[in-house]
Structure 1
């Protein structure tokens, strides 16, 4: 029997479903309320269900897979190309149905544990952003009163006590007290960030994959846990090259008539994991005494930032190879092209 392909447009309260009956050719495009969504697929034969990768899609994908269906999550940019007319729920569901029929790279369906780790990373990232905003805000406010200090947390902690003492005789106490409270609030943010990192460390101790790749130079706690949780299944990628391209660590291409021009890195995929890999590669280039002959040769031919991105690409390939083939890290390993 031919497998039915169903396109689903996810929403908060009403889902739009589009599919074509393989026997009669009848086109079905109808709304389904959230409470009856799973019941709609409960008694159906196994289907290929396509959805945009968005908020809530991972939850619905897991539930539908438990029912025996096959789920294909797709990036919203890929689906958008198939919606060529009006933007509404019915048109979106039809575009998703059309995109599901195409051969495209899927977004991995993650387990609840993997999503929990990614949630910790997102909350930590938000706290770090708040801390940076708070530091810059304090520096900017104090500059208005002629007090200039160096960039960074260390410079702020070193100078802010003396600055507040000097300004206490000139400015109202309500402002001085508020500035002091804002500075003390940075310690609370530090404590919350440290607590999340300790929880990530505890999770990594119990996860063999994250523990295995954490020994790679340039891959620490954050990169190891984020890579395992973001990747989902390593076998979902055909090769380490595809995984690196999925992260946007390869050059973009433009060309016509057989002439191809390489541009900067495409910056597609997960920005957070790509940033961690680039920072890890930068630590190897700057801090490792002998990063290897490959890095030395690259530095002679290419700019430093290009070498850093190339090293990040290499780290991504190493991570995929270790997880896909279940092999430990070996510093002296040399890849051999298959014959």
Structure 2
């Protein structure tokens, strides 16, 4: 039995293996428990293993590569068309193996343990930021029910709610003020936690020479630079800058047929957090271009006059993604046009 291609349907406790020889004949179908998976895979001759991108995929990638195998990670939406008949673990594993052998299949870039650590920092911080935004919205809504309104800014919320608690608004009952004080304390605690994550991301940024080079691009700061390294590493999985920009979802969504080409808004594929950071950075570049007189600012102003602010912001983000790819591939410094 020679297994050349092995599809593994990952799970928490029970894993399904589907192996085929070079001719495509099924030679292995087995269910394996978690504590036996690495032993079973290590016993096989070196082969190409395919797994779906999911929680734990990068951990298993490192384990299987340590056992001498080549590992390919496939996005779930690319596996789904190859599932035959009913959905179950056996059919899923077979579909993963089938997708692996497609000549034009696109694979998910692998991640080292360091990249996953940086990504965990960003995910932890974003979760706290989302929680803080929800908490502020909740407090604003509760106060609006009592006739007190203020702007949506989190900075304004800290100031206004703090003043209400210090001065004591007569229209607020004692019970409501006590409840509001608890929510306000939770807001301050979230601020403190987010600040800790910001400091840790800054430490990662200062320790990484590549991040510091990327941060010289207008619209790219420490958070964007570290997020890029966490998501794509050195960019070796991408063929060119446009490929990277498309992976980030910064290209138009297409629905064309025959001679009729139809383009819509951006596809929003890939890493949403990274795309959001690039868009926010591009928005700042567009906003400040009116006060600058360089080649990039002139290009931005001309584009904005012709296509509007929203498309200009996406164009700047797309361009920054391509510049990032070139710098990662060539190891060069950022050069102002």
TM-score (ref. length: structure 2)? 0.93
2:39 match: 39
TM-aligned CA deviation for residue 294 of structure 1: 2.0
Structure 1 residue 80, shift from structure 2 partner: 0.8
Distance in 1, Cα, partners of 2:5 & 2:24: 14
Structure 1 residues 232-270: Cα deviation after superposition (integer angstroms, max 9, x where no partner) = 331211101100000110111222223322221111111
Judged with a 3 Å threshold, the aligned counterparts in structure 2 of structure 1 residues 182 and 65 are, in CA distance, closer, same or farther, namely: same
SS at structure 2 position matched to 1:30: strand
1:142/1:167 CA distance change after superposition, 3 Å = farther
CA distance change for structure 1 residues 188 and 27 in 2, over 3 Å: closer, same or farther? same
Structure 2 counterpart SS, 1:68: coil
Q: Does structure 1 retain, via aligned residues, the 8 Å contact 2:3–2:20?
A: no
Secondary structure at the aligned position of 1:260 is classed as coil
- Offset at 1:187? 1.6
TM-score by length of 1: 0.93
Query: Cα offset for 1:161?
Result: 4.0
The 2-side partners of 1:255 and 1:159 are apart by 52
Residue aligning to 1:12: 12
- Cα distance in 2 for residues equivalent to 1:126 and 1:197: 13
Conservation of the 8 A alpha-carbon contact between 1:108 and 1:233: no
Alignment-derived partner of residue 121 in structure 1: 122
Question: Helix, strand or coil for the counterpart of 1:8?
Answer: strand
**Contact 1:62/1:109 (<8 A) preserved:** no
Q: Indicate if the aligned counterparts of 1:214 and 1:221 stay in contact, CA closer than 8 A.
A: yes
Residues 70-109 of structure 1 mapped to structure 2, 5 A cutoff: 70-102=70-102, 103-109=104-110
Matched residue count = 332
Secondary structure in 2 matching 1:51: strand
Between 148-157 and 73-82, the greater mean CA deviation after superposition = 148-157
Contact kept in structure 1, 2:3 and 2:28, CA below 8 Å: no
For 2:298, the equivalent position in structure 1 comes to: 293
SS at match of 1:104: coil
- Which has the higher mean CA deviation after the structures are superposed, 283-292 or 129-138? 283-292
Report if the CA contact (8 A) 2:7-2:93 is conserved: yes
Asked if 2 retains the 8 angstrom alpha-carbon contact of 1:79 and 1:96, the reply is yes
Q: Does 1:190 align with 2:184?
A: no
Q: 1:242 matched to which residue of 2?
A: 243
| Residue 330 of structure 2 is aligned to residue 325 of structure 1 | yes
Structure 1 residues 318-337: Cα deviation after superposition (integer angstroms, max 9, x where no partner): 111001110100102xxxxx
- CA gap 1:165/1:203 in 2 versus in 1, 3 angstroms: closer
Q: 1:235, 1:322 → 2: CA distance?
A: 12
1:159-182: CA deviation from partner (whole Å, max 9, x where unpaired): 224434676655543331121121
Query: In the TM superposition, what whole-angstrom CA distance separates every residue of 1:80-120 from its partner, at most 9, and x where no partner exists?
Result: 11113211100100110111111211111100010000000
Query: How far apart are the structure 2 equivalents of 1:318 and 1:124?
Result: 26
CA contact under 8 A between 1:281 and 1:308: conserved in structure 2?
yes
Distance 2:259 2:3 in 1: 39
How much has 1:21 moved relative to structure 2? Answer: 3.3
For residues 161 and 261 of structure 1, what CA distance do their matches in structure 2 show?
52
Instruction: Give, in whole Å, the separation in 2 of the partners of 1:243 and 1:326.
Output: 16
Question: Runs (4+) of structure 1 moved beyond 4 Å?
Answer: 164-172
Aligned counterparts of 1:24 and 1:299: Cα–Cα separation in 2: 54
Of stretches 204-213 and 106-115 in structure 1, the one that deviates more from structure 2 is: 204-213
- Cα distance 1:112–1:162, how it changes in 2: closer, same or farther (>3 A)? closer
Contact 2:18–2:97 under 8 Å retained in 1: yes
After superposition, the CA RMSD in angstroms is: 1.9
Query: Which deviates the most, 178-187 or 97-106?
Result: 178-187
Corresponding position of 2:227: 226
Give, in whole Å, the separation in 2 of the partners of 1:24 and 1:105. Answer: 20
2:66 alignment counterpart: 66
- The Cα of 1:149 is off from its aligned counterpart by 1.8
CA contact (8 A) 1:213 1:319 kept: yes
Q: Which residue of 2 aligns with 1:144?
A: 145
